[in-house]
Amino acid sequence: MAININNLNNQTQVHQNKQTQVKQEAVQTANNSAQVKQVARDSVSLTPQAQQFKELQKKAADAPAVDQKKVAELKKAIASGEYKVDAEKLMKNMLAYEFDLLGG
């Protein structure tokens, strides 16, 4: 009966390769677990300016879209003839608005 020495050597080498592969997989799993734990530690914080902006947005959302008191005052002034338009001021504001729209 002949003993195949090459085959014995191959089986030993295959067994060692499997052990190495199992160790590498264990290390990879440990690294993945560490990365997951590291991600869980991340956090976000808002700057004071961002917090202030958030508060202003909330106030704007809670405020009425139209100031009814001012509308009533203007209606009364127009009806009584007391409301006067300053044409020069109106023109300056219109030109400033148009200038801003053009990107000036």
- Residue 97's pLDDT is 92
- Residue 57's pLDDT is 92
Domain boundaries, the chain: 7-37, 66-104
Which of residues 91 and 61 earns the better pLDDT score?
91
pTM of full prediction above 0.75 = no
74 contacts 83 by C-beta, under 8 angstroms: yes
Full DSSP string of 62-102: HS-SS-HHHHHHHHHHHHHT-----HHHHHHHHHHHHHHHT
